[in-house]
Amino acid sequence: MELDGKVAIITGAARGQGAAAARRFVEEGARVVVADLLDDEGAACVAALGASARYRHLDVSSESGWDELVAETVADLGALDVLVNNAGVLHFSALVDTTLADYERVIRVNQVGTFLGMRAAARVMGPGASIVNLSSVEGIAGMPYVIAYTASKFAIRGMTKVAALELGPRGIRVNSVHPGMIDTKMVQDAIGGHEVDLSPVTRKLALQRIGRAEEIAELVLFLAGDRSSYSTGSEFVADGGSLATHALNVGAGG
């Protein structure tokens, strides 16, 4: 199995992309720490995964929380081989309407959380370890009304490269994953829980559909394991073709 014997921490893993990655990691032989703020959903996720998974409450913006989680993981499971920084939040608002509090909240979770996770993990990881940071297509190109989210995802892309350069001599790889529109609750949560009609978005995509969390999980699995042993400091995009176009293209369905 691809991750046989490896120990992984996945943040934001109570549901969505993180939970899909946790399932695949367990299927491939890993022992997984599911870290999240959603205690009930996290406990349910772990119950479904079985004995190879455990849930731990984590605020990714907490420095002490990260230090405690990593220390506990190594003490209990013997190592930390893979870190997936998946936790993230989204906030919609125009630049002129974005409050400092809203901007800082997104940065604290998405950017600072990734920084703290990488730092804590790098202190204990050994050769062959892998860090996978979830960025976004908004970490490669901008989109209106998500200035804080875009700033945080560009930062993750840059931090990934710095970490790869610093940790490469120790045999630790660091890569970023850039999903497009994926069928999770992130957009719904960001607009207050309302249902969203995404059909106008799908018509602009080369594949004409929204992505699935399981599809991102396969890419994360590849980067976590030895099949990607010569990949580090790189961006891996899974976006249905959203970055293949430009502003003057109305889309195949338009």
**Contact (CB, 8 A) for 29 and 22:** no
**Contact (CB, 8 A) for 95 and 80:** no
- Output the pLDDT for position 251: 52
Q: In a 3-state reduction of DSSP, which class is residue 56?
A: strand
- Output the pLDDT for position 184: 74
Q: Return per-residue pLDDT of the chain as tens, 254 residues.
A: 999 999 999 999 999 999 999 999 999 999 999 999 999 999 999 999 999 999 999 999 999 999 999 999 999 999 999 999 999 999 999 999 999 999 999 999 999 999 999 999 999 999 999 999 999 999 999 999 999 999 999 999 999 999 999 999 999 999 999 999 998 766 666 556 657 677 787 888 999 999 999 999 999 999 999 999 999 999 999 999 999 988 777 655 44
Query: How many C-beta neighbours within 10 Å does residue 169 have?
Result: 8
Tell me the chain's radius of gyration from C-alpha atoms: 18
Q: In a 3-state reduction of DSSP, which class is residue 177?
A: strand
Could you say which of 3.40.1110.10, 3.40.470.10, 1.10.760.10, 3.40.50.720 is the CATH number of the domain covering 7-242? Answer: 3.40.50.720
Q: Is residue 77 within a helix (H) or strand (E), and if so which, with residue range?
A: helix 63-77
Is the CA virtual torsion 203, 208, 212, 218 positive or negative?
negative
- Output the pLDDT for position 200: 80
Active site includes 149? yes
Cβ burial 62-88 (10 Å sphere, 16+ → b, else e):
eeebbeebbeebbeebeebbbbbbbbb
- Reference 112, options 143, 120, 175; nearest CA is 120
- Output the pLDDT for position 192: 60
Per DSSP (E only), the strands in 108-197 are 130-134, 173-179
- Reference 232, options 155, 129, 113, 137; nearest CA is 129
Active-site pick, 55, 103, 149, 230: 149
Half-sphere exposure (CA, 13 Å, Cβ side) for 197? 3
- Output the pLDDT for position 186: 66
- Prediction pTM value: 0.93
